[in-house]
Amino acid sequence: MSRSAYNNTYILGISFISALGGYLFGFDFAVIAGALPFLQRQFGLDAYWEGFATGSLALGAIVGCLIAGTLSDKYGRKKGLLTAAAVFGLSSLAMACASSRGIFITARFMAGIGVGMASMLSPMYIAEISPAPLRGRMVAINQLTVVTGILITNLVNYSLRNMGEDAWRWMFGLGVIPSALFFIGAWWLPESPRWLVKAGKPDLARVTLEKIGGVDFARNSLADVQRTIGGGTRISYAAAFQKAFLPAVLIGIGLAVFQQLCGINVVFNYTTIIFQSIGVSQDEQLLQTVFIGGVNLLFTILAMMLVDKVGRKPLMLIGAGGLAVLYIIVVLMLSGKNPQVSWYLLAAIGTYAMSLAPVTWVLISEIFPNKVRSAATSIAVLSLWAAYFILVFTFPILYHHLVDSTFYIYAAICVVGFLFIGMKVKETKGKTLEELEEVIMGH
């Protein structure tokens, strides 16, 4: 079936609305970078508390993944997205009004629950409603909204930098606006056809599938889904670790953990610390976050153009190998207090943005069998957030002791990741989720 035969406007519309969860993910991820200098003064944060305040988002995200997996299997993907939007809005207000370090960290943990839910549900939902030839690009929209959220948040942080010591409260509080837009938009979304079939509602699934690709597409898709879906809607984490599914689950976990431990997110979250160490002013530090957000957005758009043409595996290999080389150059530049290091950090951001950042989410949304997709996706994304917590919690401590050499650790991890991708990851472009299941399961 050609791409022109699909209702591209409808597919794009529901994909963008679902991907607003990614925008909020980007907001909560990025806002800490601009707010950290203010929070250090407000709450007297040392290296330990800097790491914990930043990483508390990841701890909440782990809880959010578990909630999302259960909620989305029992009540549907749509209700899970609505819940995530509500949590985002409430947590933004709570962070903005925090009167102590403990209250702020608790509120950021709460924000993490929303991030964890959205980071799992948005790409999974998009993958389940997208035809195979469009799926990579549509799922990458979620990453596009993530990086758009990062860029806009960095711009807002920069514009608020001279508002006084309470500027950070505005930085966090403004998250209420996109949260409300996401909540309103999610009401318009149709339920995932694959979930509807699993819930015993094939007639409702057929209606949505016909809107997506017409009568023949709906008939063929329903037949494929019913063949692989199994019965019942109860999530089973134990089932995901059965021998038949374990290889796919372990690959998903490996990709998720590598995407974080490759180290690039310390550049997003700790831009101010890295540039402060080479004598850059606070205004320049915040300006660097804007440049980083811009490069991130441009190269994510490039990834969307390439992912369904070049394929997933080549882009992942380029990302892992490219970062390993760039990190070694970054160490040499930082050790010499060379301000030109910013160009190499931007190159690292661009490399990540066109490879590991979006393509990992595409693969995680594709490689798991229908019967255990919610459980397996939840496990993989939970692993991703656990790795993110380890990364951002340890960086201030490692950087305090090892300074520039910290990036040698990330370079070594990238080499390991390159080998893992080369040996274990199969190409997935152009195949339906059901066809992929047969390839991965060895049928």
What is the per-residue pLDDT across 63-115, written as a single tens digit (0 to 9) for each?
998 888 888 888 999 999 999 999 999 999 999 999 999 999 999 999 999 99
Supply the Cα-derived Rg of the chain in whole angstroms: 21
Burial class (CB in 10 A: 0-12, 13-18, 19+), 51: buried
Structure tokens at 77: 């993907």
In this prediction, residue 251 carries a pLDDT of 93
What percent of the chain is predicted at pLDDT more than 70? 96
pLDDT-derived band at 289, boundaries 50, 70, 90: confident
Structure tokens at 10: 């409808």
d(CA 337, CA 347): 18
Mean pLDDT, residues 274-278? 80
**Half-sphere exposure of 5 toward its Cβ, with a 13 Å CA cutoff?**
13
Instruction: Give the start-end residues of each E strand in 66-158.
Output: none
Q: Are 154 and 289 in contact (CB under 8 A)?
A: yes
| Predicted confidence (pLDDT) at residue 419 exceeds the cutoff of 60 | yes
Reference 17, options 141, 149, 169; nearest CA is: 141
Count of other CB atoms within 10 angstroms of residue 400: 15
Three-state secondary structure call for residue 263: coil
Q: What is the DSSP string of 369-425?
A: -GGGHHHHHHHHHHHHHHHHHHHHHHHHHHHHHHGGGHHHHHHHHHHHHHHHHHHHP
pLDDT-derived band at 443, boundaries 50, 70, 90: very low
Q: What is the pTM of this model?
A: 0.80
Q: How far is CA 329 from CA 125, 285, 341, in A?
A: 39, 20, 8
Q: How far is CA 217 from CA 6, 205, 306, in A?
A: 9, 12, 25
Alpha-helical regions (H) of 281-372: 282-306, 312-335, 341-353, 356-366
Which of 48-62, 156-170, 222-236, 347-361 is predicted with the least confidence, judged by mean pLDDT?
222-236
Mean pLDDT taken over the chain:
88
- The CATH number of the domain covering residues in 3-440: 1.20.1250.20
In this prediction, residue 440 carries a pLDDT of 64
Say how far residue 202 (Cα) sits from the centre of its chain. Answer: 30
